[in-house]
Amino acid sequence: MPIQTKLVGTLTEGEREAIARARKVAESLVQNIGLLELRKSKAISDLQENEKKGQEVLRAVQERLGISNDTPWQVEPDGNVSIAVNVQSEGEV
């Protein structure tokens, strides 16, 4: 059975304008959110590409310096590259 309705009143002009403004603002906000999501996606992609390029440089440095994959190493802020070495303390055999 279809739902029946009964008119109980009408909106004032101010109410109609306020609802129209709220709808317009909501539509604009939804559109802005969509644009921000696109920008966010692009920024994430750029970040991933930057990370990939950085890793490629590090692999090239590792290869150029002859550092094996199982050797811990690091790049210092001044550009020096250090590897971890085992140093025995006195009394160790």
The residue extents of the domains of the chain are 13-83
Per-residue tokens: 55: 């890793």
The enclosing H or E element of 75 equals strand 73-75
Q: What is the pLDDT of residues 51-91, one digit of tens each?
A: 999 999 999 999 999 999 999 999 999 999 999 988 666 66
Cα–Cα dist 93/88, whole Å:
8
- Whole-model pTM? 0.64
